[in-house]
Amino acid sequence: MRDEVYMRRCFDIARRALGNTSPNPIVGCVIVHDDRIIAEGWHKKAGTPHAERNALANVKDADRKHLSQSTIYVSLEPCAHHGRTPPCCDALLQMNPKRVVISVVDPNPKVAGKSVRRLREAGIQVDVGILEQEGRWLLRRFATSMLEKRPYIILKFAQSADGFIGQSDKQVWLSSAIAKRLVHRWRAKEDAILVGSKTAILDNPALTVRHANGRNPLRLLLDRQAIVPHSHQLFDGQTETVIYTSKGSTHLNQTKVECIETSNTNPIQSILSDLQARDCLSLIVEGGAQLLNHFIQHDLWDEARVFTTRKSIGHGISAPIVRGELLYSEKVGADRLDCFINPLNSFLRGD
C-alpha cells in the first residue's frame, strides 16, 4: 500500500533527531499530492517547530496551490495544545488538506485523540493506525515516560560463552571492537547512562561517545557509600555527570559533576524520579551484575541488548538472566547480539 510507503518515510526522517528532542517525541511528517512528495519535515529539537510545521514550511511556492488536495502523513497524532510551540492541529486546519494519515494516537493526555476529533469535525478524512506497531516502537521512549512516569530503560551487557559477565578482581573485555562502536552509537541516541560503584572502580569507564558521532548522554553513577575515587573518569568534568549517594550531598570541585543524596532504601526509584524531573526519556543501564539484576528483579526494564561472545573465562560473576520476548538476534563482528523486550510494557503490546 502507498500509505505504508509514505508512513515508513515518516519513520525514517523522524529517526534523524533521535537523542535530540527530549522531552518531546521524535516525529516525521510527509506531504503528498498525486503520489508525489511535495514536502517533508521532522521535529529536530525541543522548543523548535514540530514536524508538521517544518513540513509545511518546506513546501515550495509552486506546490502551495496543491495543499488543499494533498494528504498529510505523520507518525504521531498532531499536538492539540499550546506548549513551547503552537498546536500543529491548528496549522493543519488552516491548510485544510484532503486527508490526514496518522500512525499512532498521542499517549499524552493533553492530546489523546483530540486532534483526530477536531480534524474530522472539520470534514477532513483522518485514517489512524497505519503501521501502528512500528509507530509505537518509534515512540517507545516518549510513551514510556508519559505513561509510566519514568524513562525508557535499556539494559546492556556482554556475557562470555560460558555465561559470565566478568570477574570480581579484574577488568575483563568480552565484546569485540565492532560491538564497542555500536554501543557508542547507542549512547549518542539515549539521554542518560548508569553504572554502579563496583563497575566504576574496576573498569573506570568514561561513559562518553568516542567511537561515533553524537552528543554524550548524561552520565550517572550510583555510589551509595561514596567509595569511587574522584580520580576516576566519571569525575573528570568532561560531560554532565550526576553522582547518587546515600552519604549526603557533598561539594565537588569538578565542573559538570553534581552530587545528589538519594534514598538508601530505594535508590533506583530515586534515580528514575530524578531523571523524569530532568526530562530524560531514556536510560541505558550498563552494569554491573548487581545493578542489572535489581532492574530485572523489579521489572524495571523495557529492552535488553545482550552480547554473547565466543570467549570463555571459566569462572567469575554470573551474567544476568533476561526473561523477555526475543525481538531480534544478529551477528555483530564475532559476537551475537540478542535484543529482548519486556512483555509488561503495555504500550509496545498495543494495549
Per-residue pLDDT tens over the stretch 167-182 = 877 777 788 889 999 9
Q: 151 or 84: which carries more pLDDT confidence?
A: 151
> Does 220 share its domain with 257?
yes
Indicate whether 345 belongs to any domain.
Answer: yes
Indicate whether 91 belongs to any domain.
Answer: yes
Indicate whether 234 belongs to any domain.
Answer: yes
Indicate whether 145 belongs to any domain.
Answer: no
> Does 178 share its domain with 281?
yes
What span, in angstroms and rounded, lies between the C-alpha atoms of 11 and 16? Answer: 9
Q: Residue 348: what are its φ and ψ, rounded to 5°?
A: -70, -30
> Does 129 share its domain with 226?
no
> Does 236 share its domain with 106?
no
Q: Do 111 and 77 contact (CB within 8 A), yes or no?
A: yes
Burial of 241 (0-12, 13-18, 19+ CB in 10 A): buried
Asked whether the predicted pLDDT for residue 13 surpasses 70, the reply is: yes
> Does 213 share its domain with 296?
yes
> Does 252 share its domain with 331?
yes
Range of the domain at 345: 151-349
**Single-letter amino acid code for the residue at 309:** T
Which of the four pLDDT bands, split at 50, 70 and 90, describes residue 81? low
> Does 80 share its domain with 110?
yes
What span, in angstroms and rounded, lies between the C-alpha atoms of 281 and 141? Answer: 6
> Does 102 share its domain with 218?
no
CA atoms within 13 A on the CB side of 163: 4
> Does 122 share its domain with 168?
no
Domain finish residue from 107, 138, 169 = 138
What does the pLDDT read at residue 82?
60
What span, in angstroms and rounded, lies between the C-alpha atoms of 36 and 71? Answer: 10
What span, in angstroms and rounded, lies between the C-alpha atoms of 108 and 130? Answer: 19
At 196, which helix (H) or strand (E)?
strand 192-196
| Residue with grid cell 513546501, as numbered in its chain | 59
What CATH number has the domain bearing residue 158?
Answer: 3.40.430.10
pTM of this prediction exceeds 0.75: yes
Q: 71 or 316: which carries more pLDDT confidence?
A: 71
> Does 116 share its domain with 188?
no
124 contacts: CB under 8 Å, gap ≥ 6: 92, 93, 96, 97, 98, 99, 100
Question: How many distinct structural domains can be found in the chain?
Answer: 2
Let me know if 40 is a catalytic residue. no
What does the pLDDT read at residue 262?
86
> Does 225 share its domain with 337?
yes
> Does 228 share its domain with 318?
yes
What CATH number has the domain bearing residue 53?
Answer: 3.40.140.10
What span, in angstroms and rounded, lies between the C-alpha atoms of 48 and 281? Answer: 18
Indicate whether 57 belongs to any domain.
Answer: yes
What span, in angstroms and rounded, lies between the C-alpha atoms of 321 and 308? Answer: 12
What pairing do the DSSP bridges indicate for beta strands 303-308 and 152-159?
Answer: parallel
Please pick, among 4, 40, 52, 121, the residue that the annotation labels catalytic: 52
Domain finish residue from 138, 162, 189 = 138
What span, in angstroms and rounded, lies between the C-alpha atoms of 51 and 302? Answer: 27
Indicate whether 271 belongs to any domain.
Answer: yes
Indicate whether 268 belongs to any domain.
Answer: yes
Task: Concatenate the DSSP letters of all residues of 10-26 into one string.
Answer: HHHHHGGGTTSSTTSPP
Indicate whether 146 belongs to any domain.
Answer: no
Q: Do 331 and 302 contact (CB within 8 A), yes or no?
A: no
Which of the four pLDDT bands, split at 50, 70 and 90, describes residue 83? low
What does the pLDDT read at residue 329?
97
Per-residue pLDDT tens over the stretch 92-126 = 888 889 999 999 998 988 878 888 999 999 999 99
Per-residue pLDDT tens over the stretch 247-299 = 765 556 677 999 998 877 789 999 999 999 999 999 999 988 999 999 999 99
Domain finish residue from 86, 114, 138 = 138
What does the pLDDT read at residue 314?
85
What span, in angstroms and rounded, lies between the C-alpha atoms of 222 and 52? Answer: 40
- Percent of the residues in the chain that have a pLDDT greater than 70, as a whole number: 96
